[in-house]
């Protein structure tokens, strides 16, 4: 994203909700935004990608419910751009498909504001696909037509026209996809029937598509309204009319995945969340990423700098987290420390994630405890040290006491040096708090005791007995128990073991 003195606006399509459907360019632009003006239809996982430093403005546009009128939104984009800001207008789906993106461009063009369009995946195609409905199929139809079901000002919900030529739609014999049409469902069904559509034509209402809560109601064009009234509708929703709707049961796939239909809140340090989220999403889960803790490198770390100059004097370097590994090697590079000084040093790591981070830097662990925690790491290291060895432990300022206690009593020189501080992210999480209370978020995954405390700091007061916590290690579980959460602990202190425990719970 270029550095502009005059500011610039990017109209970015956020897709239907699943962050996996957010485009690469969209994410790149969003990560560099200084101002983000977003709609209610932008997915929760995508909203969590908004940079911490960016000004986030919720204009809340959803069918028939607007926090800010369109004219004010247009003016806001111009105002922020004239302040010299990089402005992202984040819109659900695609900005040019019933997203009023063209209206927003009109004022930008008039005011001479630079802009770009970043297309998004439209719910008109993605939501049926996630429900197993191909909008075209050689045996059923050869065209698809996307129509807004949102009634215009001045039209009642009972108006047959809704500004739509129903007779032309029926003549196409193609699949019809109506967006924003829940409030007008009855009028749409009656309009198609009166235009001559077969009363037995399959039709479906697809609700909350591409999320763990997605559901579908499949009926016919003559019975869909009554069936929706019986079952109840939730927005956002897409109406699909056409013979392809009969394929939904046969072709459905999203909810059949190992974690399909399960919404999970994942807490980890900000820089480590996404890899675990990727594994969970590959199993079909909807993941809300909550960076509950933040790690900050300790600046001007004279104790560490002195240790780096004396690396050949150490027999062991002990890492207790992937973050500790990353910061250690960043500091080596920053101090221009020659990696050949590590030639005779051995490495001990607390677990698989830390080992993998070490391997990224071209080094392999010499010691990995059978149980991935500080106590067992210390005991394993004490067993292989005969005495008089010098050990460097670069780690968080609030370190695990059990590691140091396990090494005490041996004739060892231990330099336990803090390289980073851990602090809590304390943003208000009103939506997540509601979903934890009503069970929409089924489980919360914790990877450290500090992430439990960070989660509690962010969420604030609530009934923590409603939180189902899946934890790595006994210290993490103890922290969650302290808040009164329902807790389970993975067999091993690893992400793969944590996910295995989650799968066991879901399928119990």
Annotated active-site positions, please?
A: 39, 61, 180
**DSSP letter assigned to residue 158:** T
DSSP codes, 159-224: -S-TT--HHHHHHHTSEEEEES-GGGHHHHHHHHHHTT--TT-EEEEEESTTSTT-EEEEEETTTH
| C-alpha closest to that of 353 among 490, 469, 478, 467 | 490
What is the rounded end-to-end Cα distance, in angstroms, of the chain?
48
Residue reference for tokens 């969340």 = 273
Q: How many other CB atoms are there within 10 angstroms of residue 240's CB atom?
A: 25
The continuous run of DSSP H or E covering 293 comes out as strand 286-297
- Alpha carbons 127 and 52: distance in angstroms, whole number: 30
Nearest to 166 by CA among 141, 142, 183, 149: 149
Question: How many whole angstroms separate alpha carbon 287 and alpha carbon 283?
Answer: 11
Dist CA 189 CA 239 (whole Å) = 10
Does residue 54 contact residue 146 with C-beta atoms inside 8 Å? no
Read off the DSSP letter of residue 152.
P
- List the 215-220 sheet strands across, edge first: 144-148, 175-179, 237-241, 202-207, 215-220
């Amino acid at each position: 994203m270029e550095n502009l003195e005059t500011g610039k606006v990017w109209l970015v399509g956020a897709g239907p909700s699943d962050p996996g459907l957010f485009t690469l360019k969209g994410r790149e632009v969003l990560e560099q935004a200084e101002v983000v003006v977003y709609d209610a239809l932008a997915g929760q996982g995508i909203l969590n990608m908004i940079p911490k430093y960016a000004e986030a403005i919720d204009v809340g546009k959803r069918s028939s419910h607007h926090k800010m009128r369109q004219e004010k939104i247009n003016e806001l984009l111009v105002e922020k751009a004239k302040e010299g800001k990089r402005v992202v207008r984040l819109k659900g789906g695609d900005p040019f498909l019933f997203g009023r993106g063209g209206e927003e461009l009109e004022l930008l063009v008039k005011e001479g504001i630079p802009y770009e369009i970043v297309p998004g995946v439209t719910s008109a195609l993605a939501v049926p696909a996630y429900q197993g409905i191909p909008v075209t199929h050689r045996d059923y139809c050869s065209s698809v037509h996307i129509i807004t079901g949102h009634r215009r000002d001045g039209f009642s919900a009972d108006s047959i026209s809704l500004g739509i030529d129903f007779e032309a739609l029926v003549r196409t014999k193609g699949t019809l996809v109506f967006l924003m049409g829940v409030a007008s469902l009855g009028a749409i069904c009656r309009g198609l029937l009166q235009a001559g559509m077969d009363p037995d034509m399959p039709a479906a209402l697809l609700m909350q598509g591409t999320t763990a809560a997605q559901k579908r109601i499949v009926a016919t064009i003559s019975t869909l309204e009554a069936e929706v009234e019986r079952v109840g509708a939730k927005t956002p929703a897409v109406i699909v009319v056409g013979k392809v709707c009969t394929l939904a049961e046969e072709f459905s796939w999203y909810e059949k995945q190992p974690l399909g239909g399960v919404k999970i809140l994942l807490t980890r340090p900000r820089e480590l969340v996404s890899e675990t989220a990727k594994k969970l999403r590959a199993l079909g889960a909807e993941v809300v990423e909550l960076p509950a803790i933040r790690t900050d490198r300790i600046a001007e770390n004279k104790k560490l700098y002195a240790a780096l100059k004396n690396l050949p004097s150490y027999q062991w370097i002990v890492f207790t987290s992937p973050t500790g590994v990353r910061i250690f090697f960043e500091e080596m590079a920053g101090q221009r420390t020659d990696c050949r000084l590590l030639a005779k040093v051995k490495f001990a790591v607390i677990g698989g994630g830390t080992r993998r981070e070490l391997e990224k830097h071209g080094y392999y662990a010499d010691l990995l405890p059978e149980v991935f925690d500080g106590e067992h790491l210390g005991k394993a290291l004490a067993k292989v040290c005969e005495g008089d060895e010098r050990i460097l432990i670069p780690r968080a300022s609030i370190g695990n006491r059990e590691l140091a206690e396990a090494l005490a009593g041996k004739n060892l020189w231990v330099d336990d040096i803090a390289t980073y501080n851990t602090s809590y992210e304390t943003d208000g999480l009103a939506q997540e708090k509601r979903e934890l209370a009503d069970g929409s978020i089924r489980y919360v995954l914790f990877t450290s005791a500090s992430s439990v405390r960070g989660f509690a700091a962010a969420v604030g007061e609530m009934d923590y007995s409603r939180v189902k916590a899946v934890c790595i290690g006994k210290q993490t579980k103890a922290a969650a128990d302290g808040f009164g959460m329902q807790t389970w602990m993975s067999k091993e202190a690893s992400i793969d073991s944590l996910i295995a425990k989650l799968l066991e719970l879901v399928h119990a």
